[in-house]
Structure 1
Amino acid sequence: MKRYLRQWLAFAKHLLAAHKGRPVALLVLLGLSVLNLSSEWPNDIARPAFLGTLDAAVPDTFKSARQLLFDQYQRRFPRIPSSEPVTIVAIDEDTLARMGQWPWPRNRLANLIDAIAAQHPLAIGLGIYMPEPDQTSPDKVAGNLPKTAAALAAGLRALPSHEALLARSLRAAPTILGAVGFENAAFTTSTGLRTVPISVHGPNPLQWVQRFSHVLASLPELQAAAHGQAMLSAPVEGGVIRRLPMVFGLGDKLVPSLPLEMLRLATGSSAIDVFADGAGVQGVGVADVTVPTQADGDIWLHFASIQATRNRYVSARDILAGKVDPERIRDKLVLVGLTGAGLADMRTTALGELVPGIEIQAQAMETVFEGRFLRRPVWLKWAESSFILVFGLLIIWYVPRTGSRRLAVFMRAVPKASAVLGIVLNLLLLSLSFLVFVRLGLLVDATSIFIVLSAVMSCFFSTNLLHADEKARPAATPTSAQGQGADAERAPAMAQAGPL
């Protein structure tokens, strides 16, 4: 076993030393470049079949590292809100303590919507879905009464149902109901959602956007009364929400996200525009507002700290009691969501903060309203890949040159110089990437550049270590030979002297 290990080590040393390490460095450069490009393969180019097998066999190191870097961009430079277009009416602990446990009877929710609508908001989005009838509705209670209470049951059935009361409130106010997508059917899911038309400019984007076969939505009676329906689903990557789709696929139909539908209702538009080409979705539009998206219809969320957005929360209890300043609601985009302990759908943002799910929707609305988008266009990936290849080839060509009187001499004289040089160059690149993020909102993947070019530089670092080791060995050999010659000369003399 040791012999085979020595043979493999000898082969590896020979391979690294061959042609001053250039073949190995070139192989590393090309291999890692393919892996990097595979993690973000463009839609407009057919993906080679072997990349699927490669992705399954090799952990997606580039994607994970890229996401961590993009999180660091935001943690160092979080968005500072410049306006407050969104107000969140929170069904919080205080509200539940006063008004009773959740779920509420639908007539109580209708009262909350009426109280919000009285302050004239631009739109009201409910981050709540109601797929089943209210069991506290008068007709449902009547059905559970004994036969001896027939007169009481008849009186209850004469009253409007809680769904009817809520539908009346939804119809009277600029309301939007939320829904969430499912991959498979469940007891309360359906396959349809009442949404406004979406006008597609270009190829059908269903092939690129996130798609669901089923949806958990409110009752058809409530959907018909509301002025819009929208999806609340947000993709989670490694336990963190970084992006939010602007449009989804539900079966063979395009449906909008809550931020997009809120914007449509607030502007009085009758439809939503989706712009696509051969590379995927390029943007979505409502009225005169166009939102640039990624190829899959997502936007990168530039998060503001929850500490900077706490002022947008008002308690539903205070709304019902009439204690909220009307300016907190008037001409605002109002979201109604659960924030009480054990009820809120808590999510982790790129800032590492745990926030209610309704906060994610509010952050997206602010991003659209302020027009401060984070972008990672397709051309940026090609620019990064080109930089890696060009700079990597320059390293492979220049570093091992024997005729160089500057950098290459320094690299050969100091075995660790390649590592030091690589770290310095990558720190400069990282600083430049942060600057581009702050100034232009572009997400530059400096980690992939760092990983690939560092791996290339490490090939020459290993080669230099081998050369240093080889130079050290001949120096020890003559000394040993001289010692053996001296012993040989002393042996005849000692033989002639005889025993002492």
Structure 2
Amino acid sequence: MKRFRDYSWLTFFMKLMRAGQGRPVALAVLLGLSLLNLYSESPGVIPRPALLDKLDDMVPDTFGTARQLLFDHYQRRFPRVPASQPVTIVAIDDRTLAAIGQWPWPRNRLANLVDAIAAQKPLAIGLDIYMPEADQTSPDKVADNLPDSAAALAAGLRALPRHETTLANSLRAAPSILGAAAVDQAAFDTSTDLRSAPILVHGVDPLNRVKRYNYVLASLPELQAAAHGQAMLNVALEQGTVRRIPLILGLGDKLVPCMPIEILRVVTGSAAVDVYANTTGMESVGVADVEVPTQPDGDIWLHFASMRSTQQRYVSARDVLQGQVDPGRFHNKLVLVGLTGTGNTDMRTTALGELVPGIEIQAQIIETIFDGRFLRRPVWLKWAETIFVLAFGILIIWYLPHSDSRLAAFVRAVPKASAVLGLLLNLLLLASCLLLFKYFGLLVDAASIFIILSAVMGCFFSTALLDLGVQTRREAKRRRASAPRSADQLPR
């Protein structure tokens, strides 16, 4: 009985695949995969049904993974070549920690570093450092831990400036921006708000489109009040790799800027950051006369430069404190201060496959904005890819099954012609996408196009195999029927 059911299902499947010369099945595959691919980049393209969220938990994201790997290949083939060097990174590296002392430093020592940089007249100083807790080495904190017998010593310590006050004075005197990190979960050192510059929305409020968080790991309110700006340092991770960077994030019910945008605001003396958005999400972020195109969720695709071409932007904090750095490295530059010492930094993998400090990614964003070399994947491009796939797929479905077509005749006449033709078409597609990336910064998803059209071609290939199997069985049956019978099989 089971064999009969299996045979019935097999017969039904064979009839389904051969119906209409395979066209109905191929058309269903084309439409289904095109729709899944279109939904795979939601939000920002079309509304995403809740059913697909459940489907994502059960089915691997074939389109998303292939797309990411292809875009990485584009960058590795054509990495960004820096045209300018607006950023200098002051690295609190292993040399610095060995000479100055382990991290975290007392805040007055960090103030000395800020003062040494500010003396060289940089345009801005961004700190990739969080300071949510009071400095326990501050004189007042040390005094609190002294016994009653040391009352005179404690009084003398309390008369000294607090380390937070010293650092706040340095931050106030310099064009400083403090970094912060948006987080999902509350902790003892997180808060729900951040002092940030106002953001002016032009169009539809994109708060529900951008990545939103409820908590932030930020510096003490005293330090925030002294700095000239506050900015998020979050990056977007996809399977452990940084490809996209948010320029705007949501914190509770308000929008907040990320470090590169806030640095530009402070440098230009702008009172606010401009955000341009429509019903699909964000379109761009603007500061003064600079406008950066974004994805609907406020991210940008970052075009990475190789670390080999950016090493010259690093100077050791030890050399800065000892006055051994050429003032030209800081004058009219955007300076970023961050940890790169072993065990003290957040290392990230870029689309180039390189492991870099988090501060390097912030520098590359700023450099990309200065160079105007933006990678773009606008909503219209996704629709254009979908229309191309549907048009080309329908052409294949209509034309390929015709046995009297020139293409069919060519395939029959030339061995392996279909494989060669498919290879040439895919190479042409990849070459076109590489040129669009190189000269226009467009991220065209050739991987999804290849997957969908290959599946359509596979339907006809499967149908051809089924037809071949049927013909083979018929030929064998005819041969058995025409074979001469033995003497035992002859009628008596």
When the two structures are superposed, what TM-score results if normalisation uses the length of structure 2? 0.96
TM-fit CA distance, 1:267: 1.5
Separation of aligned partners in 2, 1:490 and 1:371: 88
Separation of aligned partners in 1, 2:489 and 2:74: 74
TM-fit CA distance, 1:402: 2.9
Aligned to 1:207, the other structure's residue is in SS state: coil
| Higher Cα radius of gyration | 1
TM-fit CA distance, 1:466: 2.0
Q: Could you tell me which amino acid in structure 2 is paired with residue 379 of structure 1?
A: W
Residues 233-287 of structure 1: CA deviation (Å, up to 9, x unaligned): 1111100111111111111111110000111111222211111111211101111
Separation of aligned partners in 2, 1:252 and 1:480: 80
Aligned to 1:337, the other structure's residue is in SS state: strand
Alignment of 1:276-425 (within 5 A): 276-404=277-405, 406-411=406-411, 417-425=417-425
Check conservation: 1:418, 1:457, Cα contact below 8 A: no
Q: Which residue of 1 aligns with 2:120?
A: 119
Separation of aligned partners in 2, 1:46 and 1:97: 54
Aligned to 1:241, the other structure's residue is in SS state: strand
Q: Which residue of 1 aligns with 2:476?
A: 476
Q: Which residue of 2 aligns with 1:431?
A: 431
Q: Does 1:268 align with 2:269?
A: yes
Q: Could you tell me which amino acid in structure 1 is paired with residue 466 of structure 2?
A: L
TM-fit CA distance, 1:43: 3.3
TM-fit CA distance, 1:205: 1.3
Residues 129-156 of structure 1: CA deviation (Å, up to 9, x unaligned): 1000000000011111111111111000
Q: Could you tell me which amino acid in structure 2 is paired with residue 398 of structure 1?
A: Y
Check conservation: 1:274, 1:281, Cα contact below 8 A: yes
Q: Which residue of 2 aligns with 1:466?
A: 466
Alignment of 1:21-420 (within 5 A): 21-41=22-42, 43=44, 45-404=46-405, 406-411=406-411, 417-420=417-420
Check conservation: 1:230, 1:257, Cα contact below 8 A: yes
Unaligned runs of 5+ in 1: 496-500
Check conservation: 1:195, 1:230, Cα contact below 8 A: yes
Distance 1:136 1:490, change over 3 A: closer
TM-fit CA distance, 1:8: 2.9
Q: Does 1:446 align with 2:446?
A: yes
Separation of aligned partners in 1, 2:402 and 2:482: 36
Separation of aligned partners in 2, 1:418 and 1:54: 34
Distance 1:116 1:415, change over 3 A: same
Distance 1:44 1:479, change over 3 A: closer
Q: Could you tell me which amino acid in structure 1 is paired with residue 318 of structure 2?
A: R
Separation of aligned partners in 2, 1:54 and 1:435: 35
Residues 357-416 of structure 1: CA deviation (Å, up to 9, x unaligned): 111101101011111000000000000000011110000000001332x10223456796
Separation of aligned partners in 2, 1:371 and 1:196: 24
Separation of aligned partners in 2, 1:397 and 1:276: 41
Distance 1:35 1:262, change over 3 A: same
Q: Could you tell me which amino acid in structure 1 is paired with residue 15 of structure 2?
A: H
Check conservation: 2:45, 2:379, Cα contact below 8 A: no
Aligned to 2:234, the other structure's residue is in SS state: coil
Separation of aligned partners in 2, 1:169 and 1:41: 45
**Between 11-20 and 116-125, the greater mean CA deviation after superposition:** 11-20
Q: Could you tell me which amino acid in structure 2 is paired with residue 447 of structure 1?
A: A
Separation of aligned partners in 1, 2:12 and 2:421: 28
Check conservation: 1:208, 1:281, Cα contact below 8 A: yes
Separation of aligned partners in 1, 2:93 and 2:361: 17
Check conservation: 2:178, 2:219, Cα contact below 8 A: yes
Aligned to 2:182, the other structure's residue is in SS state: strand
Check conservation: 2:43, 2:209, Cα contact below 8 A: no
Separation of aligned partners in 2, 1:91 and 1:309: 17
Check conservation: 2:282, 2:298, Cα contact below 8 A: yes
Aligned to 1:59, the other structure's residue is in SS state: coil
Check conservation: 2:39, 2:45, Cα contact below 8 A: no
Q: Could you tell me which amino acid in structure 1 is paired with residue 21 of structure 2?
A: K
* Cα RMSD (Å): 1.8
TM-fit CA distance, 1:17: 1.3
Distance 1:417 1:463, change over 3 A: farther
Aligned to 2:242, the other structure's residue is in SS state: coil
Q: Which residue of 2 aligns with 1:498?
A: none
Check conservation: 1:44, 1:280, Cα contact below 8 A: no
- Structure 1 runs (4+) deviating above 6 angstroms are 489-492
